[in-house]
Amino acid sequence: MIVSVEIPIFLLFIGFVVYLTKKDKKSLKLVFYLILYALLFENVNVILSRNNVGGYYYNPGFILLGHVPLFVVLSWVMIIYSSMRITDSFSFSEFSKPFVDALLAVLVDLSIDVVAIRLGFWFWQGYRLTAGWFGVPGNNFIGWLLVAFTFCYLWRNYSKKLGFFIIPLAYATYFILFMFLIKPFESILPQKTGELFIFGGLLIVFLLMFLGTKKKIQKVEKTPLMIYLIRVPFFLFGLIGLFAFGFYKESNILAISSALCFLLETSIFLSSHHIRMKKTK
């Protein structure tokens, strides 16, 4: 099972880099920075969360870079890069784009995490498969929202000025925001359910941030098909995995939520192409 997930991700990433080399060379710098950011974030977080409820660690059977599997780092890159490219295909204001980036990134994570932990890819400490979101802590999804938002915001607005310093600054900003959102509520809400409420509240805030600032423009860049092709395998992994291994039997909500994530991704793809066709008429 370990090899069966690593090799497809490696091949997908190779195809992704080949595509960038031919079609979008300027984004290779972004890819390099994302690799470094993923390595920093994952290794530090695994160490800091060690032996804590809600902490996590990876299966040591994978090819590891420190404490994090190589395939996870490469997945990070493809998920965040593709989220940014899809955002750019819609007429969102510059202010709202990092919020949309983060929502698109967490959409992928919502699809794969419940299957990945059941297959033993990584483990959440102190969480049964019935706790949190079917075994996944709410702080995982909070983390994905914030980690994608902080990096994308800084990259979109300050990549030329900050250069390499975007990486430590993005992590520091993430850490401050995460602690600010989690710690004050720990004494008020039960950890395993309270985090899901916080995540739900953040989703609403992020949705309002881009729905309330959308503006009309005359030209919209169509998202290349390749961008969606590197995302589809993640959704298929989550959806097919539920049925192939019988995990869907645990709750109908699992299958429904996974299908909804895939349908939402499909509708976003169709919408971006429809908008382009409509604008060019």
Quote the percentage of the chain above a pLDDT of 70. Answer: 90
Average pLDDT over residues 158-165: 90
Residue 23: burial class (beta carbons within 10 Å; 0-12, 13-18, 19+) = exposed
What local confidence, expressed as pLDDT, does residue 281 receive? 45
Confidence (pLDDT) at 214: 54
Total domain count for the chain? Answer: 1
In terms of residue numbers, what domain contains 202? 2-280
pLDDT average, residue stretch 269-276: 64
Mean pLDDT confidence for 154-166: 92
Average pLDDT of span 10-32: 93
More confidently predicted of 50 and 122 = 122
Write out pLDDT tens, residues 66-114: 999 999 999 999 999 999 999 988 878 889 999 999 999 999 999 999 9
Write down the residue that tokens 């169509």 correspond to: 222
pLDDT in tens, 219-241: 456 678 888 899 999 999 999 99
Q: pLDDT tier at 215 (50, 70, 90 boundaries)?
A: low
